[in-house]
Structure 1
Amino acid sequence: MYIFLEILFFIFSFLVFWAIIGYPFSLKILDKLLTKNELPKNYNYQPTITILIVAHNEESVIKEKLENVSRINYPKEKLEILISSDNSTDTTNEIVEDFIVNNQDKNIRIYKAKNRKGKTNAQNEAVRTIKSELIVFTDANAMLDKNACIELAAAFYDESIAYVTGKLCYTNRDIDLASESESSYWDLDLALRDIESRFQTITAGNGALYACKRKDYVEFDPIKSHDSSMPLYYSLNNKNAIANHDALAFEKAGENIKDEFNRKVRMSRIILASILPSLKILNVFRYKWFTYFYLGHRTSRYLLWFSHIMVLLLNMILINESSIYVITFGFQLVFYTIAVLRRFFYINNRFINMIYYYCMTLYAQIVGVMKVITGKAKPTWEKAGSTR
C-alpha cells in the first residue's frame, strides 16, 4: 500500500517539477540541438482585414483604441474596423458612434450584441457579419504597433497556417508585485511559444492580438476563449497555429493582486476540460511535436493545482516512512507559510514575491475549478480596472 502511495507521490512531484522547470528547460535544450530557421514571411500577402474589438463598458479606453487602430499601417481600401459591443451599459456605444461620424473616411462600424453572453459569444455574433479574408482580434485596452496587421498577414505564408498570434508587451513591468510577477512569467511563456512556433505550432495564443482566416473561424461555446481554444482546434485538424513576435500589442498588466487573481480565476474556467481535451493528442506519430508541447505546456500546468494538493496530502500520509518525507513536508510547509506571511505583511523581496504570486495562481486555479464543478463558471467577465 505504501509503495503505491510513494509512487503516486513521486509522479505528482514530477508533474510539478516538469511544469515549472523541466518542460521549459527541455525546450531550451531542443532549441540548441535542433535549430530551426526564423519564421518565413510573405509580405506580398495583403488580404482584406477586419480588426475586431470586443468591448463591454470600455468607455475609459475605447476612444484611444479607435484612434490607435485608425493609424494602423495597412492599405485603407482593405481595412475594416468592427467593434462588437457586448451589451455595454455605459457610454461605450455612444463614443464609438461619435467616432464613426467624425471619421467617415475610415471604414468603421459597430455591432451591438443584445444580450450579454461574454466575449466569445460577442465575437461569434460579430464574425457572422464579416466578409474579409483575415480577421485580427484585439482587446479594447491593447494598443497595437502600426505594423501589427502587416506582420500578422505576412505570417500566413502557406495554407497550413490557420492562426497567428502577436506579442503582448506589458508597459508597466515594475509598478508593483502583480505587474512585476506577471511580466516575469509572461517573458518565460513568450520564449516557450517562440520555440514551439519555430518547431511546429503553439498551444495557446493571447487575447491582446491574434488573427485567423475567415474561412477557418470556428464558433466555440461561450464559456471558452478563442485565443486558447483555436490553436488546439487547428492543431488537431492538421493546421498550424504560430507566433509572430514582430506583431506587437501593448497593454498594462494588472497592478494589484485582486485584479490578477480574478483574471486567473476566469482563465481557469477551462482547466478541467483542457487537461486532456482529446485522446487524439496522445498520437505522437500524427501530431509530432504538438503532442509534446501540449502535454508539457498545457496539461502539466493545468494539473498544477491538483498535483500540489496530492503531493501535500501524500506527504502527510508518508511522513513517518522516511526522513525524506520529513524534509519534503518541511519544505512545503515553509513554502506555503512564506506565501501566507507575504499575504498579510509587506515584504519587499523578489524571491518571496514570486512564491506568493505562484501560490496565488494555484489558489486561483482551485477557485476556478470549484466554480466549474458547482456550475458557477460564467462566460462573462469584469474588466480589471488597473489594466485600463
Structure 2
Amino acid sequence: MFLFKILFYASGLIIFWAMVGYPTSLRIINKLYTINKLKKNYTQQPTVTVMVVAHNEEKVILDKLNNIIALDYPREKIKYLISSDNSTDKTNAIVEKFIEEHPNYNIQLYKVKDRKGKTNAQNEAHKLVDTEYLVMTDANAMLKKDAIKELMSSFISKDIAYVTGKLIYVNNDTNDISNAETSYWDSDLQIRDIESRIQTITAGNGALYACRTEDYVDFNPIKSHDSAMPLYYALHNKKAIANHDAIAYEKAGEVVEDEFGRKVRMNRILLGHILPTVKILNVFKYKWFSYFYFGHRTCRYLLWIAHFLLLISSLVLSSNGYLYLCVFLLQIIFYGLSVIKMITRTENKYLTLVYYYTVTIIAQWVGVYRTITGKSKPFWEKAESTR
C-alpha cells in the first residue's frame, strides 16, 4: 500500500502543478518580481524573408499571398518564400500565377519533391535564404500589417535568437470546441508573456515566429520548431521571447476530431520532451528556464501517465480512507461527464471543457503509443475546420 500512496500523491501533485500550481506561481511572481517590460527598437529594419510552408493549401494560399505582400515593411528589404511540401492540388499553380501577376514583389516558390513534413520543408527552403532574418508563418494564419516590424523590433541584442508572435483565434464564439481551445490558448499566452519578460519562453507557436538566419538549425523533421527552437536556444545560453504585439489571426478547430488530430501531432515525440536532457535541471546555469520547463513542459507532458496512476492508485486505496475514495469517485464522475458530452453532443460550456481536457489526455496517450511503436510521422493532415 505504501507504493500506491507514493503514486497517488506524486501523480496528484504533477496534475495539480501542471494545471493550477505553475500558472498560479507565475502570476504571483509577476506581482512580486520586478519584471522588465519588453524592449523594442523600431529603427532597426533588417532584411527579412517571410517563409510560408504549404501542403495542399489551395483554399487559403491566395489569401495568404495577398496578406503577406500587404505587410507594412520596406519592399526593398523583404522577400517572400513559399515552400510547397509536395503539394498535389492547385497550390503550386496558384502561387506561380500570383508571382507572374506581381513582378514587383520578390516572391519565390520552392517545391519540395518528397513530402517529409513542415520542418523538413523549412530546412530545405532555408538554404535559399540570404536575408539577415527569417520569419516563418503558417498558410492559414493571416498577419496583422505591422507584424514584421514588431518581430524585428524585438531583436535588440545578440542573445535574443527567437521571437514569437501572438496567435489570436477569430472564431472563439463559433461553438464550444473553438471556445474551449481559445480559453486554453489565452491562458497559455499569459504564461508565455511572463516567462518571456523574466528570461525565456519554453515554446512558441507555428503561426508566426522569427529567428536570425545565422541562428537557424536544421532540426530532425520529426521535431517542430514550436518546441525545438526555444529549447535549443535556451540550452545554448540564448533567449526566445514573445512579442504579443506581433499578431497572427487563425481559426481554431471547430470539430473535436480536428483538435484531437492536432494534439496527437503535437505529442508525436512527447516522450523525448518530458526531460530532453538532465542539464535542464541545472538551475545555477539555466536559472529560471529550469523552473519554467519543469512546470510548463515536463509536468504537462506527464499528464497522460499521471492521470492513469492517480486513477489506479485511488481505486486500490479507496477502502483505506475517504480521501482516496473521494478522489476516485471524482475521477469517475469527470470521465463520465466526458462520455455524456461525446454521446449527447450537448452544447454545454462546462461539459465541453471537461471533454476537451479528456481528449487532450487521450491524445497524449496516442502520441506515446505512436512513439513507442515507431508510427510517429513528421507530417499530418491539416484540420479542415481551421481553413
1:305 aligns with 2:304: yes
1:270 aligns with 2:269: yes
Farther-moved stretch of structure 1 (311-320 vs 95-104): 311-320
Question: Where do 4+ consecutive residues of structure 1 move more than 6 Å?
Answer: none
Match of 1:160 in 2: 159
- Structure 2 portions without partners, runs of 5+: none
Farther-moved stretch of structure 1 (202-211 vs 43-52): 43-52
Q: Is the 8 A contact 2:269 2:376 kept in 1?
A: no
Letter in 1 for 2:66: E
Shift of 1:321: 1.7
Letter in 2 for 1:153: M
Letter in 2 for 1:199: I
Letter in 2 for 1:45: Q
Shift of 1:347: 2.6
Shift of 1:35: 3.0
Cα deviations by residue, 1:102-161 (Å, 9 ceiling, x for unpaired): 000000000000000000000000001111110000000000001000000000010110
Match of 2:343 in 1: 344
Letter in 2 for 1:338: L
Shift of 1:331: 0.7
Q: How many Å separate the matches in 2 of 1:20 and 1:227? A: 20
Q: How many Å separate the matches in 1 of 2:239 and 2:28? A: 23
Shift of 1:360: 0.7
Q: How does 1:153-192 map to 2 (within 5 A)?
A: 153-192=152-191
Letter in 2 for 1:284: V
1:244 aligns with 2:243: yes
Q: How many Å separate the matches in 2 of 1:215 and 1:28? A: 35
Letter in 2 for 1:72: L
Alignment root-mean-square deviation, CA: 0.7
Shift of 1:353: 1.2
1:24 aligns with 2:23: yes
Q: How many Å separate the matches in 2 of 1:198 and 1:323? A: 43
Q: Is the 8 A contact 1:177 1:256 kept in 2?
A: no
Match of 1:326 in 2: 325
Q: How does 1:204-219 map to 2 (within 5 A)?
A: 204-219=203-218
Q: How many Å separate the matches in 2 of 1:329 and 1:73? A: 56
Q: How many Å separate the matches in 1 of 2:7 and 2:364? A: 21
Q: Is the 8 A contact 1:42 1:154 kept in 2?
A: yes
Cα deviations by residue, 1:316-351 (Å, 9 ceiling, x for unpaired): 221222222111111111011001111101333222
Letter in 1 for 2:300: R
Q: Secondary structure at the match of 1:333?
A: helix
Q: How many Å separate the matches in 2 of 1:340 and 1:35? A: 45
Cα deviations by residue, 1:48-75 (Å, 9 ceiling, x for unpaired): 0000000000000001000000001111
Q: How does 1:36-55 map to 2 (within 5 A)?
A: 36-55=35-54
Q: Secondary structure at the match of 2:294?
A: helix
Q: Is the 8 A contact 2:315 2:328 kept in 1?
A: yes
Match of 2:62 in 1: 63
Q: Secondary structure at the match of 2:46?
A: coil
Q: How many Å separate the matches in 2 of 1:256 and 1:39? A: 36
Q: Is the 8 A contact 1:19 1:301 kept in 2?
A: yes
Q: How many Å separate the matches in 2 of 1:259 and 1:154? A: 35
Match of 2:382 in 1: 383
1:14 aligns with 2:13: yes
Shift of 1:259: 0.5
Q: Secondary structure at the match of 2:15?
A: helix
Shift of 1:281: 0.3
